[in-house]
Structure 1
Amino acid sequence: MAPRVLISDKLSDAAVQIFKDRGIEVDFQPDLGKDKDKLAEVIGNYDGLAIRSATKVTPTILEKATRLKVIGRAGIGVDNVDKDAASKKGVIVMNTPFGNMITTAEHAIALMFAVARQIPEASASTHAGKWEKNAFMGVELTGKTLGVIGAGNIGGIVCDRARGLKMKVVAYDPFLSQDKADQMGVEKVENLDDLLKRADFITLHVPLTDQTRNILSKENLAKTKKGVRIINCARGGLVDEQALADLLKSGHVAGAAFDVFSVEPATENPLFNLPNVVCTPHLGAATTEAQENVALQVAEQMSNYLLDGAVENALNMPSMTAEEAKVMGPWVTLAGHLGNFIGQMTDEPIKAINILYDGSVSTMNLAALNCGVVAGIMKKANPDVNMVSAPVVAKERGIKISTTNQDKSGAFDGYIKVTVVTDKRERSIAGTVFSDGKPRFIQIKGINIDAEVGAHMLYTTNEDMPGIIGTLGKTLGENGVNIANFTLGRSTRGGEAIALLYVDEAVPAPVLKKLEDTGMFRQVKPLAFDVV
């Protein structure tokens, strides 16, 4: 059945056509996002939801989204999506961070010019028939110091444009390396205070997080250079708007230009109606080119995920390109099977999960593979868990996850080994992918095996001795259970031995009891795997 996507905000016809051309059933209802009750009523019918900013994806909406796999936001900000609730639900949240970078950066530069030369006030005065040439004394940008808070994608473009205007640029960004700063031609400062005391203009280009919220607080605003001008085209909530208004009134801050506000739509705000404050209604991405770009980009990303498993620009899961998905698909499947095996075998609380990647697999997207392993382990506790929600569930339970990768060290071109640690024991399993693309279990508890993975399996442990194969075959055969594949392994002659059987259907409980009653087995464990 073809995936179904709901578009609940305004998207271009070209974006709608992308879904159709890819064979995805699309329902275009551009005003539905404004009606949360109606959206909650129908969301359960869709695999994907494409939105802009009008649709609010709340926990209530997500609770009704029984088959939803992906939410695509045409734009950068996803404040209108409850990402934690989406992650717990196993829904990928994507945005389009590159489609409106130029547009937003240009708007920041435009606002900087506007506040430097008081263009809006001068325009309004002139339209009113006044000729107040001496009332609007501006300042040049050339030679001034621009402080850029956040030198990522958009901030980096602003830095480039500012250098073209012959401004001196200082950047504060904990993730900006010195080499990158040198390439950009900007001065990297190690602390925010240094930027605040030096900048003639300050522009913000960071997301709204717990770390950046109120980054220009009352205390930090007081540290700024007298006569500073502040521009915010990033997110509302980064600046204490009341404190800024007070400093504008006192004359410490010479001007401000804001495109975003702590509460939107902003019908009232401390910055409104103050002299030399330029305000626009969140127009950072509002150009024809940007709106088209982000719409097309989100349609492509959602289609690639729903059809090929590619994860691009996701905010709650490691990204994986379509090419990676094709190569890694069997390894992701193996990771899930290894986790699922060990999860079904472990009854006590898990303290840690250690994952070893050896050989060719060690160069792949390990973050995505980790998600596969953890999802497999968590399935026993929560059958609805997936690669998105599993890390959240593990974190909530206080499980520590560690990863090791190493060069080829064994007989296989590559393999994955998973070990879980509990208060009582450690338990491990390893697997690989053969040239036929099928996952195999190759080691359990340090004992080498070669087992194909089936939907229904039976795992037994025993002391190595004659009669085990006969007992298993006879008991299962007499009870109508057909064996598709039979794998044995032992540590040493007479030592611990294991058997892993791939059977055509689940072994009934009475048959398991008969095997246990023979007294030949230390453990008899039925296993189930999601095998396509």
Structure 2
Amino acid sequence: MKAGEWAKGEFLGTELNNKTLGVVGFGRVGQEVAKRLGHLGMDIVTFDPYISEERASQFGAELVDELDECLAAADFVTIHTPLTPETENMIGEEELAQLEGGYVVNCARGGIVDEPALAEAVEDGVLKGAALDVFGEEPLDPDSPLLDVEDIIVTPHLGASTEAAQENVATSTADQVVAAFNEEPVANALNAPSIDRATFEQVQPYLDLADTAGRIAVQLFDKHMSTVEVAYAGDIADQDVEYVTASALKGVFEPSDMQVNAVNAPQIAKERGIDVTESKTSSAEDYQSLITVTVSDGEDSVSVCGTRFGGEESRIVRIDGHRIEAVPHGHMLVVRNKDEPGTIGFIGTALGESDINIAGMFNGRRTIGGEALSVYNLDERPPAELLETLNADDRIIETTYVALGDE
């Protein structure tokens, strides 16, 4: 128009009304996006292993079990997950093919979408377009294939670059400093307990243990959880454990929400429609104190039980009733297998052939010849091909990689 042209026939838009929006990651931001675009007449389908069906339905969204199912149903996909080992390159060539004829929007974190695969998919017409505000490497490399595709919009990570956003950040910071001085809860504190100092010193040794048990439990549970139970046994049951429970929730949500902490974790549980319960008992069997974190969907569940040895070292001593004594750190491989001769040897050989070193191994079983469970501490993450090799053996029931991120 400014050049004096009336090129009306050269532009044709796409309506959102009656289209389907796929939301990958249904935390606070994903829910807000669904709320707004639902009002524009879009159908909402979401994939998030850490959200309950009830919570999704509150926003008019259909919760699906698999990422491919979400992509196949969607006309537009918007991503709202943190970048974790679980989500890195989560959307690649095969996943993009499920979204044939659709659009991808990523304003979450770079590295979640395979950028070369996305560029190729748009250029080849598999997708109609994409819009990215975040990238695997920032600033974006001038040689990035994303810059060569006409139907890909790129912006330099400026999602929060508005006058209102900058003003809100400053105001929020000031409000939280005032709250801290007034000894009130600080909503986004990273390390400020909302309990008195004396109580904090009593429970502080158990905070990391509860966090770790929560992280392991949620990674072993492959369904949409609706409840989290934290059970205390022994000496710890005599303490004020509210902050310990919050630390367990932090561990549960950490794989899906990079901004979670022990202060805001209970609120995140509330936002996601997840019921949280505590229980206490004075009996802790052979241990001074035990903490058990159980995640459930109302039918199936996974329980992880931990303790402190010598008041210093954390140990996972039970997973779903299997007695073990695992050191929780770094890269962990949890294997459920038939209790048959040679099975552990087969697992060790497979790891060795993949050049994966075993730093520690812990095995437990309930009955002879029944189901056994082994935990392997590894020096690096096992490749997908190795897990496929293990799972192809009839003696292996299930393998799960657990990332604790503290190596």
Question: Normalization by structure 1: what TM-score?
Answer: 0.42
Q: Deviations over 1:117-159 (max 9, x none)?
A: xxxxxxxxxxxxxxxxxxxxxxxxxxxxxxxxxxxxxxxxxxx
Partner of 2:356: 481
Q: Deviations over 1:221-278 (max 9, x none)?
A: xxxxxxxxxxxxxxxxxxxxxxxxxxxxxxxxxxxxxxxxxxxxxxxxxxxxxxxxxx
Question: Residue 369 of structure 2 aligns to which amino acid in structure 1?
Answer: G
Partner of 1:513: 388
User: Conserved in 2, the CA contact under 8 Å of 1:320 and 1:368?
Assistant: no
Give the C-alpha shift of residue 424 in structure 1.
Answer: 3.6
User: Conserved in 2, the CA contact under 8 Å of 1:330 and 1:438?
Assistant: no
Distance, in Å, in 2 between the alignment partners of 1:518 and 1:64 is 57
The DSSP-based 3-state class of the residue aligned with 2:226 is strand
Distance, in Å, in 2 between the alignment partners of 1:325 and 1:420 is 25
Q: Deviations over 1:474-514 (max 9, x none)?
A: 11112111111100011101111111111111112222122
Return closer, same or farther for 1:75/1:463 CA change in 2, 3 Å cut-off: closer
In the TM superposition, what are the counterparts of 1:377-388 in structure 2 within 5 Å?
Answer: 377-388=252-263
Distance, in Å, in 1 between the alignment partners of 2:214 and 2:310 is 22
1:466 equivalenced with 2:341 (yes/no): yes
Question: Residue 431 of structure 1 aligns to which amino acid in structure 2?
Answer: G
Distance, in Å, in 2 between the alignment partners of 1:66 and 1:484 is 45
1:416 equivalenced with 2:283 (yes/no): no
Give the C-alpha shift of residue 72 in structure 1.
Answer: 4.4
Give the C-alpha shift of residue 393 in structure 1.
Answer: 1.2
The DSSP-based 3-state class of the residue aligned with 1:439 is strand
Question: Residue 365 of structure 2 aligns to which amino acid in structure 1?
Answer: R
In the TM superposition, what are the counterparts of 1:516-531 in structure 2 within 5 Å?
Answer: 516-531=391-406
Give the C-alpha shift of residue 77 in structure 1.
Answer: 10
Distance, in Å, in 2 between the alignment partners of 1:62 and 1:435 is 47
Q: Deviations over 1:424-480 (max 9, x none)?
A: 412211110111511110111111111111111000101111111111111111211
Partner of 1:496: 371
Return closer, same or farther for 1:505/1:66 CA change in 2, 3 Å cut-off: farther
Return closer, same or farther for 1:391/1:60 CA change in 2, 3 Å cut-off: farther
Partner of 1:448: 323
Partner of 1:369: 244
In the TM superposition, what are the counterparts of 1:38-117 in structure 2 within 5 Å?
Answer: 60=166, 71-73=177-179, 76=182, 87=187, 91-92=188-189
In the TM superposition, what are the counterparts of 1:126-145 in structure 2 within 5 Å?
Answer: none
1:433 equivalenced with 2:308 (yes/no): yes
Distance, in Å, in 1 between the alignment partners of 2:287 and 2:220 is 25
Return closer, same or farther for 1:71/1:455 CA change in 2, 3 Å cut-off: farther
User: Conserved in 2, the CA contact under 8 Å of 1:320 and 1:365?
Assistant: no
Distance, in Å, in 1 between the alignment partners of 2:208 and 2:377 is 17
Return closer, same or farther for 1:403/1:423 CA change in 2, 3 Å cut-off: closer
Question: Residue 400 of structure 2 aligns to which amino acid in structure 1?
Answer: K
**Among 182, 189, 195, the residue aligned to 1:319:** 195
Return closer, same or farther for 1:514/1:66 CA change in 2, 3 Å cut-off: farther
What is the identity percentage for the equivalent residue pairs of Structure 1 and Structure 2?
27
User: Conserved in 1, the CA contact under 8 Å of 2:221 and 2:301?
Assistant: no
Give the C-alpha shift of residue 59 in structure 1.
Answer: 6.7
Distance, in Å, in 2 between the alignment partners of 1:469 and 1:459 is 12
Partner of 1:233: none
Partner of 1:395: 270
User: Conserved in 1, the CA contact under 8 Å of 2:227 and 2:275?
Assistant: yes
Partner of 2:203: 328
In the TM superposition, what are the counterparts of 1:35-434 in structure 2 within 5 Å?
Answer: 60=166, 71-73=177-179, 76=182, 87=187, 91-92=188-189, 309=191, 311=193, 318-321=194-197, 323-434=198-309
Distance, in Å, in 1 between the alignment partners of 2:282 and 2:367 is 28
Question: Residue 501 of structure 1 aligns to which amino acid in structure 2?
Answer: Y
Give the C-alpha shift of residue 346 in structure 1.
Answer: 1.9
User: Conserved in 2, the CA contact under 8 Å of 1:412 and 1:432?
Assistant: yes
Question: Residue 195 of structure 2 aligns to which amino acid in structure 1?
Answer: S
Give the C-alpha shift of residue 381 in structure 1.
Answer: 2.2
Question: Residue 319 of structure 1 aligns to which amino acid in structure 2?
Answer: I
Partner of 1:191: none
Give the C-alpha shift of residue 358 in structure 1.
Answer: 0.6
The DSSP-based 3-state class of the residue aligned with 1:430 is strand
Return closer, same or farther for 1:420/1:471 CA change in 2, 3 Å cut-off: same
Distance, in Å, in 1 between the alignment partners of 2:265 and 2:180 is 26
Give the C-alpha shift of residue 527 in structure 1.
Answer: 0.5
User: Conserved in 1, the CA contact under 8 Å of 2:331 and 2:405?
Assistant: no
Question: Residue 219 of structure 2 aligns to which amino acid in structure 1?
Answer: Q
Distance, in Å, in 2 between the alignment partners of 1:327 and 1:59 is 40
Return closer, same or farther for 1:75/1:481 CA change in 2, 3 Å cut-off: closer
Gaps of 5+ in 2: 1-163
Return closer, same or farther for 1:75/1:423 CA change in 2, 3 Å cut-off: closer
Q: Which protein has greater RCO, CA pairs closer than 8 Å, 6+ apart?
A: 2
Give the C-alpha shift of residue 407 in structure 1.
Answer: 0.8
Q: Deviations over 1:259-307 (max 9, x none)?
A: xxxxxxxxxxxxxxxxxxxxxxxxxxxxxxxxxxxxxxxxxxxxxxx8x
Return closer, same or farther for 1:513/1:400 CA change in 2, 3 Å cut-off: same
Question: Normalization by structure 2: what TM-score?
Answer: 0.55
Give the C-alpha shift of residue 364 in structure 1.
Answer: 2.4
CA RMSD of aligned residues (A): 2.9
User: Conserved in 2, the CA contact under 8 Å of 1:355 and 1:417?
Assistant: yes
Question: Residue 488 of structure 1 aligns to which amino acid in structure 2?
Answer: N
